[in-house]
Every structure is written in C-alpha cells, then in structure tokens.
Amino acid sequence: MTEQRPWTGHVFIATSVDGYIARPDGSLDWLTDRPGPTGDGGYTEFTATIDHLLMGRGTYETVAAFDPWPYTRMKVIVLSSTLDALDDRVTVVRNLPEAIAALTAAGADRVYIDGGRVIQSCLAAGLIDDLVITRVPVLLGEGISLFGALPADVQLETLGVAPIGGGMVQERYTVVR
C-alpha cells in the first residue's frame, strides 16, 4: 500500500540484542537502568529535524508520565482504537489511514514513528524511509518485539553501524523502494 505522501517517516529506537523494545509488561528498565553512552546517541540531533510524531497507545502511556513532556517541539498523533484524547498535547486517531490523512492535512514534513505495532504497520504500508536502531547489549528472552510479520520483505540498505558507548551499537538503514 505504498502511496505518495508529502512527508517522510523516520524511526529512532532502541532494542535488546534479541530485538525487543520492552519487557512483556512494557517496562523499559533494561534500557533506563543501565549506563549509557555519553550523550544521547544522536536523539537530540534527530528530533531537531522532526515536526510530527506518530506513536501507539502503549508508547503514549509510557511517555505520558514524563515530566516535563518531551515533545513540545512537535505535534503528536497517537494511533489507538481505544484511547480517548486526554489533553491538548496529542491528537488521537483510530487507524492508519486516519493517521496518514491527519499528517498530510497538518502539513507534516518529517514524521518520527515510534512504538512497535505502529512501526510494524508503517513498514507494511511503505511509510518508513529510514531507521536508526540502537542495540543494547542485553538479551531479554521475551517482550514486545520491534518487528513482526510483514506482507512482503522490506529491503534495507545499511548506511552505517557504529559503537556509541555503554556497549551499545547504532545501526542506520534506509528503506529501498
């Protein structure tokens, strides 16, 4: 379902070596309670180029408690079939076509796509242009997987792989169309 769109989709996410983005209960303690690289691994530089964020309900529920709210520079759209809009920080949409329409109508340019199921749906729909995946040197054994079933292979071109400190390795890919 790759379609023309005026915006580009970008992923910046951390995973365990075995490909999990959270524990089964959504916990990120394996990421937050460990020594990390000096700096933020390029996250600040990445978000400086972003004007919209599309995330799923689970990701929203995790970040909603952050104080201060980390996404003041960008408009946030939450993709959820069950969540009601709780405050003026986010817009809630019910499905991916509604998210695409909202991003397009808002004049989005560079969209940060976050959350396992949202990333999977956007990959399947051809809405992701590149990915930055930071591998954290831990094996969780189970949890919420970054990737799942796709309707077809998604070909990637490796742009770079580099250690970033704290034992972490950052992989950069572009999606080949």
Residues composing the chain: 177
1 band by pLDDT with thresholds 50, 70 and 90: very low
Nearest Cα to Cα of residue 170 among 33, 9, 15, 8? 15
2 band by pLDDT with thresholds 50, 70 and 90: very low
Read off the pLDDT of residues 57-81 as tens digits, 9 standing for 90 and up. 999 988 888 889 999 999 999 999 9
**CA 89 from centroid of its chain's CA atoms:** 18
Q: Which residue has the tokens 């529920």?
A: 61
| Prediction pTM value | 0.94
pLDDT exceeds 70 at position 3:
no
- Span 7-24, average pLDDT: 97
d(CA 76, CA 57): 12
Phi first, then psi: give them for residue 74, nearest 5 degrees. -130, 155
How distant, in Å, are the alpha carbons of 43, 95, 108, 164 from that of 83? 27, 12, 23, 36
b/e burial code for range 28-45 (CB count within 10 A of at least 16 → b): eebbeeeebeeeebbeee
